[in-house]
């Protein structure tokens, strides 16, 4: 297939606007998957159980004389980096808008991401089968919004993944994205690493877009970030999305490559694969800036190295995650400091560690990246709350990350949206009403965004408002923030400390203590839980002693003769212990760590 007959496009949209359903339909139509088969795209456990896409998936299909590569992307804000990364490897994008919902906040932000990546867009209305669908109005709004270059509402595609309406028109429309320039297949090899994942048998499996030359099996290659290490290509092929082995991938192709790379930290997304030291390709996207950090620790009995290996392997498949060694903490030992783009991102990572790597890891409550300005003007990052200044320390200025938040709301719910945003916001930047919708722009402390803002906004506006966050935080002076400490039997547990606004801190401290009371298992001795600010105790709760002996139930020993049953019970108890962390002499499970995090 000539390079001029190869095209790669991604499908982008607000969450739930039908990207994965349309992608599945397209794959059915081209015969890649059988009709009625379960989703070929949302294949991760976490995607099936939550019904959302978290990973972009690449699939190549034959369309007449053409090789078309489709990338289904996630829609949730926390995975915006995945979308930007995908766009960097595409010739164009299809912007979907749910014909019953209309334009939402993420519609604007993914369209803006495409524009800044220089990726042309065509627009389509999805779910046109719904009785509430109004594709004509949505097409008009799309053209009026200036999101797409083509401002003829008649050329906005009308689709339904459910009935198949309009689906055959999608591929002919995206062929227009094909680059007309001359073939670059005779040039020296350059391929961009678009994505990577760890495979237990094969090591790193990279998804690459070949830009120049041809990538072949048995070829000697290097990753330009570490040119001294030569590797040999073991296998290449197309993704349909199932791997389809082929002997070579010429320029224009998107496919997979396996080169026996065991050290997974090497197969980095954005790197260039070449035969010799040539000019590297531009990555095409900015590295992700973590919006919050969580300290993670192996549970009792597990090894730090095993945990670190699992985290590295999963991080290979998630270019938005950052991983650093953390200095050992008195209460918790050695751990890692892992950076995420949001709470959902962190939670998905935690679930994937368990689902895909069988690693049960304890996550501490996440912390946004605060900074301190000392009186000699030095700036330090707050890596753990041990570094937080004392309550009466006036010498140190605290800086907090702030972000711009765009909210799109039907004007009839404007009051409710403002009431939700105003108490959290630092300031309002804009309020623009055009007809029935209003766009609100605020500067918010990032900590107040991750603290459940989108849920609260959805509740206040019955789901009509949508929110987009510009993920690159800036730093501004923070006022009135205090650290709340939690002590168990008199010992402060650094992993349970959190930061709150001064006016909120007393309530949050009390709630945290009360919540811990129900989440810390009873011990053979009394456990006293205290919440404190500085030396001042805000709340005190006691967990009475209780001897948890699994072999006695209601005072009676479980059937003396039944050894296997006894063994099973003991085994279960051991399993339960494995996921705990003993701090001082108190055992804490993941629930206890989350109990503090979830205090509202």
What are the beta bridge partners of residue 79? none
Do the Cβ atoms of 353 and 359 come closer than 8 Å? Answer: yes
Residue number, 78 or 212, with CB nearest to ligand GDP: 78
Query: How many Å apart are CA 74 and CA 110, to the nearest integer?
Result: 10
Cβ atoms of 499 and 366 within 8 Å: the answer is no
Q: How far is the CB of 560 from Mg ion (least distance, A)?
A: 55
Q: Which of residues 52-111 bind Mg ion (CB under 5 A)?
A: 53
Confirm or reject binding of residue 21 to Mg ion (CB under 5 A).
Answer: no
Could you tell me the smallest distance in angstroms from the CB atom of residue 127 to Mg ion? 13
Nearest distance from C-beta of residue 20 to Mg ion, angstroms: 3
75 is annotated as contributing to ligand binding: yes
- Give the whole-angstrom CA distance, residue 442 versus residue 203: 45
Question: Does residue 13 bind ligand GDP (CB under 6 A)?
Answer: yes
Q: Which two tokens stand for residue 577?
A: 């212990």
How many other CB atoms are there within 10 angstroms of residue 528's CB atom?
A: 14
Long-range contacts of 351-355 (CB under 8 A, 24+ apart): 351/45, 351/46, 351/49, 352/44, 352/45, 352/46, 352/314, 353/310, 353/311, 353/314, 355/44, 355/45, 355/46
- Closest separation between CB of residue 172 and ligand GDP, Å? 19
Beta strands, E only, 99-219:
121-126, 157-158, 190-199, 203-212, 214-216
- Binding of Mg ion at residue 20 (CB under 5 A)? yes
515 touches, from ligand GDP, Mg ion, none (C-beta below 5 to 8 Å by class): none
Closest contact distance (angstroms) between CB of 53 and ligand GDP is 5
**Which of the ranges 47-55, 380-388, 513-521, 581-589 carries the binding residues for Mg ion, by CB under 5 A?**
47-55
For 240-285, list the strands marked E by DSSP: 243-246, 248-250, 254-258, 272-274
565 and 571 Cβ atoms separated by less than 8 Å: no
x/- letters, 107..126, toward ligand GDP (CB under 6 A):
-------------------x
**Which residue from 85, 127, 158, 508 is in contact with ligand GDP, where contact means CB under 6 A?**
127
How, if at all, do strands 437-445 and 427-434 pair?
A: antiparallel
Q: How far is the CB of 464 from ligand GDP (least distance, A)?
A: 17
Cβ atoms of 528 and 505 closer than 8 Å: no
Residues of this chain, 498-557, that bind ligand GDP according to CB under 6 A = none
Q: Is 15 annotated as a binding residue?
A: yes
Q: Is residue 72 annotated as involved in ligand binding?
A: yes
Contact between 147 and 107 (Cβ < 8 Å): yes
Q: Which of residues 418-437 bind ligand GDP (CB under 6 A)?
A: none
Give the x/- contact pattern for Mg ion in 246-285, rule: CB under 5 A.
Answer: ----------------------------------------
Q: How many CB atoms lie within 10 A of CB 494?
A: 18
| Residue number with CB closer to ligand GDP (51 or 554) | 51
**Burial class (CB within 10 angstroms; exposed 0-12, middle 13-18, buried 19+) of 383:** middle
Binding range to Mg ion, per CB under 5 A, among 26-34, 49-57, 498-506, 546-554:
49-57
Site for Mg ion (CB under 5 A): how many residues? Answer: 3
Residue 161 binds to ligand GDP (criterion: CB under 6 A)? yes
Tell me how far apart the alpha carbons of residues 358 and 462 are, in angstroms, rounded to a whole number: 38
Residue 457, contacted partner among ligand GDP, Mg ion, none, CB below 5-8 A by kind: none
Tokens of 349: 């990572």
x/- site string to ligand GDP, residues 43 to 82, per CB under 6 A?
----------x---------------------x-------
Assess contact for 424 and 386: CB atoms under 8 A.
no
Question: Is the bond preceding residue 241 a cis peptide, omega within 30 degrees?
Answer: yes
**521: annotated binding-site residue?**
no
Residues 15-44 that bind ligand GDP (CB under 6 A): 15-21
Q: Verify binding: residue 106, ligand GDP, rule CB under 6 A.
A: no
Closer residue to ligand GDP (CB): 129 or 355 = 129
Q: Does residue 167 bind ligand GDP (CB under 6 A)?
A: no
Contact status: 129 vs ligand GDP (CB under 6 A): yes
Q: Which residues are annotated as a binding site?
A: 13-20, 72-76
The annotation places the binding site for GTP at 13-20, 72-76
Residues of the shown chain interacting with Mg ion in the complex, contacts defined by CB under 5 A: 19-20, 53
Binding region for ligand GDP (CB under 6 A)? 13, 15-21, 53, 75, 126-127, 129-130, 160-162
């Amino acid at each position: 297939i000539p390079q001029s007959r190869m095209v790669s496009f991604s499908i982008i949209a607000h969450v739930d606007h039908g990207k994965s359903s349309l992608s599945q339909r397209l794959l059915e139509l081209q015969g890649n998957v059988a009709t009625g088969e379960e989703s070929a795209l949302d294949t991760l456990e976490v995607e099936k159980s939550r019904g959302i896409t978290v990973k972009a998936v690449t699939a190549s299909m034959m369309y007449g004389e053409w090789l078309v590569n489709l990338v289904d992307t996630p829609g949730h804000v926390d995975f915006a980096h995945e979308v930007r990364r995908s766009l960097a490897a595409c010739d164009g994008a299809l912007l979907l808008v749910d014909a019953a919902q209309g334009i939402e906040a993420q519609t604007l932000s993914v369209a803006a991401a495409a524009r800044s990546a220089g990726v042309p867009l065509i627009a389509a209305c999805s779910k046109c089968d719904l009785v509430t669908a109004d594709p004509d109005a949505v097409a008009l709004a799309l053209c009026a919004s200036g999101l797409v270059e083509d401002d003829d509402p008649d050329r906005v595609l009308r689709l339904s993944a459910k009935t198949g309406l309009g689906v055959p028109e999608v591929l002919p429309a995206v062929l227009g994205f094909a680059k007309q320039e001359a073939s670059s297949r005779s040039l020296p090899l350059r391929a961009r690493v678009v994505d990577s994942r760890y495979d237990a048998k094969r090591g790193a499996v990279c998804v690459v877009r070949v830009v120049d030359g041809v990538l072949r099996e048995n070829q000697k290659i290097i990753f330009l970030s570490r040119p001294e290490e030569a590797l040999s290509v073991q296998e290449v092929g197309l993704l349909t999305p199932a791997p389809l082995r082929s002997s070579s991938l010429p320029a224009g192709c998107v496919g997979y490559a396996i080169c026996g790379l065991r050290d997974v930290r090497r197969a980095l997304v954005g790197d260039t694969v070449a035969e010799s030291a040539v000019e590297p390709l531009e990555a095409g996207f900015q590295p992700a800036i973590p919006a919050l950090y969580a300290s993670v620790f192996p549970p009792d009995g597990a090894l730090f190295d095993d945990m670190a290996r699992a985290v590295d392997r999963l991080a290979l498949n998630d270019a938005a995650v950052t991983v650093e060694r953390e200095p050992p903490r008195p209460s918790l030992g050695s751990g890692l400091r892992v950076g995420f783009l949001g709470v959902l991102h962190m939670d998905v990572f935690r679930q994937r560690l368990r689902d895909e790597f069988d690693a049960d890891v304890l996550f501490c409550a996440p912390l946004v990246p605060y900074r301190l300005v000392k009186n000699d003007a030095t700036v330090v990052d707050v890596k753990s709350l041990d570094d937080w200044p004392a309550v009466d320390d006036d010498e140190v200025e605290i800086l907090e990350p702030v972000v711009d938040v765009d909210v799109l709301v039907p004007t009839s719910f404007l009051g409710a949206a403002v009431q939700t945003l105003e108490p959290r916001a630092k300031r309002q930047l804009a309020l623009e009403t055009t007809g029935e919708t209003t766009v609100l722009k605020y500067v918010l402390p990032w900590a107040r965004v991750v603290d459940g803002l989108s849920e609260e906004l959805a509740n206040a506006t019955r789901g009509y408002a949508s929110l987009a966050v510009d993920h690159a935080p800036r730093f501004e002076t923070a006022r009135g923030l205090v650290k709340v400490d939690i002590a168990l039997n008199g010992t402060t547990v650094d992993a349970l400390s959190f930061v709150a606004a001064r006016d909120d801190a007393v309530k949050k401290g009390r709630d945290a203590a009360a919540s811990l009371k129900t989440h810390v298992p009873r011990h053979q001795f009394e456990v006293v839980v205290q919440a404190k600010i500085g030396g001042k105790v805000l709340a005190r709760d006691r967990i009475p002693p209780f001897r948890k002996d699994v072999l006695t139930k209601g005072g009676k020993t479980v059937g003396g003769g039944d050894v296997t049953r006894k063994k099973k019970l003991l085994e279960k108890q051991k399993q339960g212990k494995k996921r705990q962390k003993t701090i001082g002499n108190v055992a804490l499970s993941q629930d206890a760590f989350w109990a503090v995090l979830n205090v509202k």
